[in-house]
Amino acid sequence: MGWATKQRIILLGALPVVGALVNRAVPLPGIAVEDGMRDAYLGVPVMVNDRIYLAGPVFKNRSPFPLTIRSAKTPGAPGGIELVDVRLYRSADFEDSPPLIWATDGGLDRFDPGDRQSESVIGRRIAPGDQLADEGDKTVVLFEFRAVKPGAWRWPGTEIRYQQAGLTWTESIGPNYEVKVATSRAEWTKYGEGQWGLPS
């Protein structure tokens, strides 16, 4: 048997091993939750102590392993805004449709998410290919914030921590948020008319 023949046999014998390595499912570190809202912006004028609800992504697990959401926080630590929770709502519980933006001042009472039953996203397990919300048709994810300090606040989405395949990962998801916390009704009206004056 010549050297070339031996080489072909060795290479052919290695092919199944190479194929197994290529096809082996692996976790997607820090990118397992599909975003889809990264280029979106949501903004609203509010008053101090207002409750604020802003739409979030559908939380789709695009990886081949199940994952569990463990926590969420606002990256960049906007000092005037506190993240209360990330919650899942039934669209049918809202009149017409769920709000993309709702705040205590200016929000219609009949759309108040606080009056609807909901479940926290924290602790939820998401199977491969599944998602928690469906862009509002049946369910929707809303991020609940509270305005605690006057000022103009901007932050890039929400940082979530999830567990998958025995490891813990962090990922930034959701749209960019802009909230102006007013100190008077006149200021609230001014910012509601589009005069944001947010820092660049």
Give the pLDDT of residue 28: 65
Domain locations along the chain: 31-192
Above pLDDT 90, what percent of the chain? 50
Q: Which residue has the higher pLDDT, 14 or 185?
A: 185
DSSP 127: -
- Look at residue 8 and tell me whether its pLDDT is greater than 90: no
DSSP 93: G
- Look at residue 126 and tell me whether its pLDDT is greater than 90: yes
List the single range of 25-34, 95-104, 137-146 with lowest mean pLDDT: 25-34
Tell me: the pLDDT tens digits for 41-97? 888 999 999 999 999 889 999 999 999 999 999 887 678 999 999 999 999 999 888
Tell me: the pLDDT tens digits for 10-38? 334 443 433 333 345 566 667 899 876 77
Give the pLDDT of residue 1: 55
* pTM for this prediction: 0.79
User: What is the average pLDDT value for the chain, to the nearest integer?
Assistant: 81
Give the pLDDT of residue 106: 76
- Amino acid identity, position 133: A
For 179, half-sphere exposure in the C-beta direction (CA atoms, 13 angstrom radius) is 34
Compute the average pLDDT of residues 149-160. Answer: 90
- Minimal CA–CA distance to 51: which of 127, 140, 142, 133? 142
E-only strand ranges, the chain? 33-34, 41-47, 51-55, 60-61, 67-73, 81-90, 101-103, 118-120, 125-126, 139-147, 151-164, 167-182
